[in-house]
Structure formats: structure tokens, C-alpha cells
């Protein structure tokens, strides 16, 4: 696995061994506005690509974060549940949402690299 990948749903995936760390991009955080609530999945939850795994609410909108790949949620970031504003402060760093063990690492190949994502958001 290689560098950070990006989805068309404005999620980022950062490989860590046979796991990926998943969060939302700075662009997504800006579009949402001030985040006021985050609900994360339970560690140990098995998910399939496009399953709804996170609920995020802001002053503007509610939105779901979808599982980018098939796998198992192994860890969640409780810090953003306790202080949802962290998502706006550091969306591509400390405010990651969850870590997951990926069933099929080749699924990551379909996502954009940083240059392609920047072009996508224009």
C-alpha cells in the first residue's frame, strides 16, 4: 500500500500496514461548517464498501460517512465524539474517524491520489 488516497465522497484513506486510517478532507469539513456531533461505529464491526458507518452533524447539515472498502473497524477516535469541533480544526490529521483492517487492499487502487483529488474539487 502507498500514500494517502481520496474518494469522490471527500474521505481520505491513509495506509498503515494492513490497516487504513479514514477521515474527511479539509474540503469536506469546510463544506459542512461547524461540526457539532459525531457518531462512530463500534470497533469489531465488519463493514462492506458503501455501508453507512459514521453519522456527522454540523450546524448546516447531517451527513453519513460511508465505508470506503470492505473490512473490519478496529479502532475509533473517541476524541472527536467528545469534541466534534476537532473535525474542523484538523480534519486530515488528529480528527481521523476510524481505523479498519482492509479485506482486499486492491480496492484502494480505485481511489484518487492527492493531485487527482485537488483537480476533482477544482
pLDDT tens, residue by residue, 18-73:
899 999 999 999 999 999 999 999 999 999 999 999 999 999 989 999 999 999 99
Mean pLDDT taken over the chain: 95
pLDDT-derived band at 2, boundaries 50, 70, 90: low
User: Has residue 9 been placed in a domain?
Assistant: yes
Task: Say how many domains are in the chain.
Answer: 1
Inform me whether the pLDDT recorded for 17 exceeds 90: no
Neighbours of 32 (CB within 10 A): 22
Do the Cβ atoms of 29 and 56 come closer than 8 Å?
no
**Residue 31: per-residue pLDDT:** 93
Structural domain containing residue 44 = 5-104
Examine residue 112 and state whether it is found in any structural domain, yes or no. no
Q: What is the CATH number of the domain that holds 62?
A: 2.40.50.100
Amino acid at each position: 500500500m502507498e500514500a494517502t488516497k481520496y474518494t469522490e465522497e471527500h474521505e481520505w484513506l491513509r495506509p498503515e500496514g494492513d490497516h487504513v486510517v479514514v477521515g474527511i478532507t479539509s474540503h469536506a469539513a469546510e463544506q459542512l461548517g461547524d461540526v457539532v456531533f459525531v457518531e462512530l461505529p463500534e470497533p469489531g464491526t465488519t463493514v462492506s464498501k458503501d455501508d453507512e458507518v459514521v453519522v456527522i452533524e454540523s450546524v448546516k447539515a447531517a451527513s453519513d460517512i460511508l465505508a470506503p472498502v470492505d473490512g473490519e473497524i478496529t479502532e475509533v477516535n473517541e476524541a472527536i465524539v467528545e469534541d466534534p469541533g476537532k473535525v474542523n480544526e484538523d480534519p486530515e490529521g488528529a480528527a481521523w474517524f476510524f481505523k479498519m483492517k482492509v479485506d482486499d487492499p486492491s480496492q484502494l487502487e480505485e481511489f484518487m491520489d492527492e493531485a487527482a483529488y485537488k483537480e476533482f474539487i477544482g
